[in-house]
Structure 1
Amino acid sequence: MNLEEQIYLRKSCRKYLDDEIDMDSIHKFLSSVKPLNDDINYYYKILTRDEVNLRTRWSAPYYLALFSEKKENYLTNIGFVFQQVSLYLQSVGIGSCWVGLASLKEKSSEFVIVISFGRSENMTRDISDFKRKQLSEISDFADERLTPARLAPSAVNSQPWYFKHSDDEFDVYQVKQNFVKRQFLKKWNPIDVGIALAHMYVANEKTFEFYRKSDFEEIKGYTYIGSIKI
């Protein structure tokens, strides 16, 4: 199982087979996944399509419903944790997709988002098929080390992450969307940044560190999320 390889192959799946899946390995992986913030409590439930309200034209046999206490950085933490899970699913032949347009039939104040998943016949793509910003657009200068973040999925492909070099670290920012986009993406973009950071962690598992600084640079049009060492 090599999660880093999946970064360069993964695609969001929206067509699934109805095959049953043994959930034991998924639960086992989730028991050892790395959080971005250790002090944020989160949990998940595995649901069927009958337990989810969908506003999509497609559906999946299973949904990973994600829950969290509402603390600073909780959405970014959710993206960080469960993109690792998405990469794991890909590595064992299970397709997945983050689904923002869904809610639960059993209401919960801690519900955040769901990930659809299931067996799929069309799960991978060539790296040339990724429609992404150039490295020079997501950082103060092009740096190949940021390729894993560049390939991360995001809501309506908004790609809201920005990295600024600072000595031997990167300061991580989120793009401030315009008023119209902000109404739709304000909840999802922090998750997207967490997804990009998950890719950076998976590609640099032994050396990755995340922390927040008090002396970060304010950049017009961006919100500081934290800093990483890789």
Structure 2
Amino acid sequence: MNLENQIYVRKSCRDYLDGEIDIKIIHEFIANAKVLNENIDYYYEILTPDKLNIRTPWKSPYYLALFSEKRDNYLENIGFVFQQLCLFMQSIGIGSCWVGMASLKKRNPDFVIVISFGKSNNMTREISQFKRKKLSDISDTEDERLVPAQLAPSAINSQPWYYKHVGDGFDVYQAKQNFLKRQVLKKWNPIDVGISLAHMYVANPDSFEFFTKSGFEDIKGYTYTGSIKI
């Protein structure tokens, strides 16, 4: 299955149609999705809007509630795994959107974030319609191989990822936000970095490798997330 082309047309969907979805294919995809760390336990539930407190002006027929144990890179892992699902759903006519403005009515300490999804006729765009930082702003050297990461969605379009060339891959960093943005984005930006890593994996499925190391360069204004080979 080649999902790479979905990276260049996907947009966050907030306009849904009524209609049932074959949930079985979603379960099957998630069961086979690649993870960043196999030692992190995560799970999900498919919910209807009445099970959530939703603070957006729009709603969808389905919501995916995501849960995880709290270990190193658990937020990045959630973004990595479930952005693969978003690209897959896009490929079969199902729109999706990461929703930070939603919570469970029944509290669960493992809860991380929600993804809305449903059938839609308004979930693609031309690549010229993406509003993203320049490649030179997300890396130490402009590199076309990073276009998939460049096009990743993020909370309030903050685009917090930074890729530094190292050998045959990259060290990956997350931007430190100012005080005000940090109050909003402290939980979402690690997920965003995971989403960008998912795009790098989807574009390089046969060679992608994620790992962490102790010998990385400290970069002012950024924190180290991990390293990849592509």
- Normalising by the residue count of structure 2, what TM-score does the alignment of the two structures yield? 0.99
1:218 alignment counterpart: 218
Alignment deviations for residues 72-121 of structure 1 (CA, whole Å, 9 cap, x no partner)? 11000000000000001001100000000100112100000000000011
Query: 1:162·1:175 contact (CA, 8 Å) conserved in 2?
Result: yes
Pairing 1:10–2:23 present:
no
1:79 alignment counterpart: 79
Query: 1:2·1:91 contact (CA, 8 Å) conserved in 2?
Result: no
Distance in structure 2 (CA, Å) of the matches to 1:51 and 1:91: 27
Pairing 1:143–2:143 present:
yes
Query: 1:40·1:69 contact (CA, 8 Å) conserved in 2?
Result: yes
1:42 alignment counterpart: 42
1:164 alignment counterpart: 164
1:179 alignment counterpart: 179
Alignment deviations for residues 7-48 of structure 1 (CA, whole Å, 9 cap, x no partner)? 001000001011111101111111101111111000000001
Off by >6 Å, runs of 4+ in structure 1 = none
RMSD across aligned positions (CA) = 0.6
Distance in structure 1 (CA, Å) of the matches to 2:114 and 2:2: 24
Distance in structure 2 (CA, Å) of the matches to 1:35 and 1:168: 21
SS of residue matched to 2:218: coil
- Normalising by the residue count of structure 1, what TM-score does the alignment of the two structures yield? 0.99
Amino acid paired to 2:33: V
In the alignment of these two chains, the number of paired residues is 230
**5+ residue gaps, structure 1:** none
Distance in structure 1 (CA, Å) of the matches to 2:118 and 2:204: 28
Amino acid paired to 2:182: R
Amino acid paired to 1:184: V
Distance in structure 1 (CA, Å) of the matches to 2:114 and 2:48: 11
SS of residue matched to 2:47: strand
Distance in structure 1 (CA, Å) of the matches to 2:168 and 2:28: 34
Distance in structure 1 (CA, Å) of the matches to 2:2 and 2:12: 18
- Identity across the alignment (%): 72
After TM superposition, list the pairs within 5 Å mapping 1:53-202 onto structure 2: 53-202=53-202
SS of residue matched to 2:20: coil
